[in-house]
Structure 1
Amino acid sequence: MANELQARVVRKLTWRILPFVMLLYFVSFLDRVNVGFAALTMNKDLGLSPTMFGLGGGIFFLGYFLFEVPSNLILNKVGARIWIARVMVTWGLVSAASAFVVGPNSFYTLRFLLGVAEAGFFPGIILYLSQWFPARQRAVAAAAFMAAAPLSTAIGSPISGAIMQMPALFGLKDWQWLFLIEAIPAVVLGFVVLKALTDSPEKATWLAADEKAWLVATLREERAGRESQAGHAAGALAALRDPRVWIMSMIYFGTSAGLYTLGLWAPLIIRQFGFSALGTGALNAIPSVLAVIGMVMWARHSDRTGERTWHVVLPCVAAGIGLAWAGFADTVLAVVLALILVNVGISAAKAPLWAMPSTFLSGAGAAAGIAMINSIGNLGGFVGPFAIGWLKSVTGGYAAGLYVVAASLAVSAMLALAIGRRGYRAAPAPQ
Structure 2
Amino acid sequence: MQIDAVVASAGSADREAGDRLYRKIAWRLIPFLMICYVGAYLDRVNVGFAKLQMLNDLQFSETIYGLGAGIFFIGYFLFEVPSNLMLQRVGARIWIARIMITWGIISACFAFVSTPLQFYILRFLLGAAEAGFYPGVILYLTYWIPSHRRSQMIALFMTAIPIAGIVGGPLSGWIMQYFDGHQALAGWKWLFLFEAIPSIVLGIATIFCLTDRPEKARWLSEQEKALVVSALDAQAQNSESTLTTMGEAFRNPRMLLMCMIYFCVIMGQYGLTFWMPTLVKSAGVTGVLQIGLFSAIPYTFAVVVMISAGRNSDRTRERRWHVIVPMLAGALGYMIVAAAGGNVTLALIGLSLAAAGVITPGPLFWALPSAFLAGTAAAAGIAAINAFAGLAGFVSPYLIGYLRDITGTSTIAMYTSAAVLVLGALAILKVPAKLVNR
- For normalisation by structure 2, the TM-score amounts to 0.95
In structure 2, what is the equivalent of residue 368 of structure 1?
Answer: 380
| Per-residue CA distance 1:224-252 (angstroms, 9 max, x = gap) | 222xx3x4211122212222122111111
Contact 1:387 1:404 in 2 (8 A): no
Unaligned runs of 5+ in 1: 427-431
| Per-residue CA distance 1:144-183 (angstroms, 9 max, x = gap) | 0111101110111100010110231223210000000000
What is the aligned length? 423
Q: How does 1:97-112 map to 2 (within 5 A)?
A: 97-112=109-124
Contact 2:70 2:393 in 1 (8 A): yes
In structure 1, what is the equivalent of residue 211 of structure 2?
Answer: 198
1:263 equivalent to 2:273? Answer yes
In 2: Cα distance, 1:80 partner to 1:335 partner? 41
Name the amino acid aligned to 1:127: L
1:175 equivalent to 2:185? Answer no
In 2: Cα distance, 1:127 partner to 1:421 partner? 23
Give the Å deviation of 1:339.
0.5
In structure 1, what is the equivalent of residue 299 of structure 2?
Answer: 288
Q: How does 1:331-342 map to 2 (within 5 A)?
A: 331-342=343-354
1:298 equivalent to 2:302? Answer no
In structure 2, what is the equivalent of residue 429 of structure 1?
Answer: none
In structure 2, what is the equivalent of residue 207 of structure 1?
Answer: 220
Percent of residue pairs bearing the same amino acid type: 46
In 1: Cα distance, 2:107 partner to 2:273 partner? 16
In structure 1, what is the equivalent of residue 404 of structure 2?
Answer: 392
In structure 1, what is the equivalent of residue 8 of structure 2?
Answer: none
In 2: Cα distance, 1:282 partner to 1:244 partner? 41
Contact 1:234 1:363 in 2 (8 A): yes
Give the Å deviation of 1:421.
5.0
| Per-residue CA distance 1:340-372 (angstroms, 9 max, x = gap) | 001111122122211222211111100011001
Three-state SS of the structure 1 residue aligned to 2:373 is: coil
Unaligned runs of 5+ in 2: 1-12
Contact 2:285 2:344 in 1 (8 A): no
Moved more, 65-74 or 261-270: 261-270
Contact 2:92 2:136 in 1 (8 A): yes
In 1: Cα distance, 2:375 partner to 2:430 partner? 26
Three-state SS of the structure 2 residue aligned to 1:419 is: coil
Give the Å deviation of 1:47.
1.1
In structure 2, what is the equivalent of residue 79 of structure 1?
Answer: 91
| Per-residue CA distance 1:131-155 (angstroms, 9 max, x = gap) | 1012221000010011110111011
In 1: Cα distance, 2:317 partner to 2:19 partner? 18
Contact 2:268 2:358 in 1 (8 A): yes
Match of 1:278 among 270, 289, 299: 289
In structure 2, what is the equivalent of residue 308 of structure 1?
Answer: 319
RMSD: 1.2
